[in-house]
């Protein structure tokens, strides 16, 4: 069921309302928007939602692959289709390479998808590289200094579709770049950094509003006085109300106690769960070879991450967007409303999207889950993309 379904009514589902309460109701979808919420609503097509949760579609702001699809070499159409089967209605395609290579990747995706118009789930590109101080799981040859030439190359290649740009605040020129990108409407994110609190504060003052995979690739502060707890970058970001923290929510990248610490400090309104997914996410446990290379990775259970074979180094998660939602409930002990907040609403707010809530006038991006949190339907702009 993939064709557009005008005047679609979801009947008698347990709907997560805008006020955070669950109520049994019908939802009418018309013209790609939520038209009405009530009882005995009429439409041209119907979905029986009785006994199921009707929730905002899942939004992943940091993902670069799923299954055997790697965005560096794969197709956005295949990626979007696979993500729909995991509840994702909005995605930001992660690009992480050298300036020249990243430019070619974005140009190819734009060319193959009619400027992304053929893949409306893809809200834009996210550049995690090249402006990082620490490579993390990437190789150093993918890093590059901040220069007007590199920046313009990437902006031109993105064709206006770069929506998130990761930057280490301590790099020369970082504050000026953040200021300039923010003025273009690009959300800048603090990432892979050894920055001091002062450097991070300067980045926030310049306009940085996201933190990339909080707690991961952040250096712990040194204890200068024995026995005295040192305040560091993570402590500052936890109390900085202007930034929203992305968290890889598998319990391995970030210990559940630290996830709870982020919830207490930031509140769910400033926490966004992300997969940081690459190829092999969602696949059964095993060893897999990276498409087009001889690199191998070991995938454990989805809450154990993806690791480079031989070294055991974490290299992205094995999560899907639906895993994020389930983990919010089962691993981190949150209710359905909070899980939806950190998997949908927070990201929609940060990115300025008309999504992430079930309310009249919002985009008709929804998922329907059974009582065991299994996916029954994925609906984007009123179109059924996936049916169990």
Is 3 a member of any domain? no
Which among 316, 321, 271 is positioned nearest to 96, based on CA atoms? 316
Total domain count, the chain: 2
Q: Are residues 249 and 374 in the same domain?
A: no
Q: Are residues 345 and 379 in the same domain?
A: no
Q: Are residues 281 and 196 in the same domain?
A: yes
pLDDT digits (tens, 9 = 90+) for 218-265: 888 888 898 999 999 999 999 999 999 999 999 999 999 999 999 999
Q: Are residues 104 and 244 in the same domain?
A: yes
CATH code for the domain of 133: 3.20.20.140
Classify residue 176 by its DSSP letter.
H
The range of the structural domain enclosing residue 211 comes to 58-351
Q: Are residues 318 and 185 in the same domain?
A: yes
Buried/exposed 315-334: b ≥16 CB within 10 Å, e otherwise: bbbbbbbbbbbbbbeebbeb
Instruction: With cut-offs at 50, 70 and 90, classify the pLDDT of residue 137.
Output: low
Q: Per-residue pLDDT for 383 more than 50?
A: yes
Q: Per-residue pLDDT for 102 more than 80?
A: yes
Question: Model-level pTM greater than 0.75?
Answer: yes
Q: Which two tokens stand for residue 23?
A: 């109520």
Who contacts 372 (Cβ-Cβ below 8 Å, separation ≥6)?
none
Q: Are residues 21 and 68 in the same domain?
A: no
Q: Which two tokens stand for residue 241?
A: 């109300």
Q: How far is CA 346 from each of CA 38, 201, 204, rounded to the nearest angstrom?
A: 25, 22, 18
pLDDT digits (tens, 9 = 90+) for 167-201: 999 999 999 999 999 999 999 999 999 999 999 99
Instruction: With cut-offs at 50, 70 and 90, classify the pLDDT of residue 352.
Output: very high
Q: Which two tokens stand for residue 26?
A: 């019908």
Q: Are residues 80 and 198 in the same domain?
A: yes
Report how far residue 352's alpha carbon sits from residue 362's, in angstroms, rounded to the nearest whole number: 12
């Amino acid at each position: 069921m993939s064709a557009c379904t005008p005047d679609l009514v979801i009947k008698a589902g347990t709907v997560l309302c805008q006020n955070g309460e669950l109520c049994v109701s019908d939802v009418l979808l018309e013209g790609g928007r939520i038209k009405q919420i009530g009882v005995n609503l009429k439409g041209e097509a119907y979905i029986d939602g009785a006994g199921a949760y009707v929730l905002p579609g899942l939004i992943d702001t940091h993902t670069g692959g799923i299954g055997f699809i790697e965005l560096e070499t794969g197709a956005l159409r295949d990626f979007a289709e696979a993500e729909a089967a995991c509840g994702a209605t909005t995605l930001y395609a992660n690009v992480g390479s050298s300036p020249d290579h990243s430019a070619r990747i974005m140009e190819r995706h734009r060319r193959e998808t009619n400027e992304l118009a053929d893949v409306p789930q893809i809200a834009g590109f996210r550049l995690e590289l090249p402006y990082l101080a620490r490579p993390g799981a990437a190789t150093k040859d993918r890093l590059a200094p901040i220069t007007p030439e590199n920046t313009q190359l990437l902006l031109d290649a993105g064709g206006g579709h770069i929506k998130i740009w990761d930057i280490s605040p301590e790099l020369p020129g970082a504050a000026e770049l953040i200021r300039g990108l923010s003025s273009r409407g690009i959300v800048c994110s603090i990432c892979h950094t050894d920055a001091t609190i002062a450097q991070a504060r300067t980045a926030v003052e310049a306009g940085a509003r996201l933190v990339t995979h909080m707690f991961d690739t952040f250096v712990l502060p040194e204890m200068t006085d024995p026995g005295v707890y040192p305040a560091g970058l993570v402590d500052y970001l936890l109390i900085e109300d202007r930034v929203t923290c992305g968290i890889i929510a598998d319990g391995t990248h970030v210990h559940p106690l630290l996830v709870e610490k982020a919830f207490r400090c930031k509140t769910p309104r400033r926490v966004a769960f992300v997969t940081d997914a690459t190829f092999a996410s969602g696949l059964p446990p095993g060893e897999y070879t990276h498409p087009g290379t001889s690199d191998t990775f070991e995938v454990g259970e989805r809450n154990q991450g993806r690791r480079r074979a031989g070294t055991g180094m974490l290299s992205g998660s094995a999560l899907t967007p639906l895993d994020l939602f389930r983990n919010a409930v089962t691993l981190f002990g949150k209710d359905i409303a909070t899980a939806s907040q950190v998997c949908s609403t927070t990201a929609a707010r940060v990115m300025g999207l008309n999504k992430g809530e079930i309310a009249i006038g919002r985009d008709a991006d929804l998922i329907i889950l059974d009582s065991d949190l299994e996916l029954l339907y994925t609906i984007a702009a009123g179109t059924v993309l996936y049916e169990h």
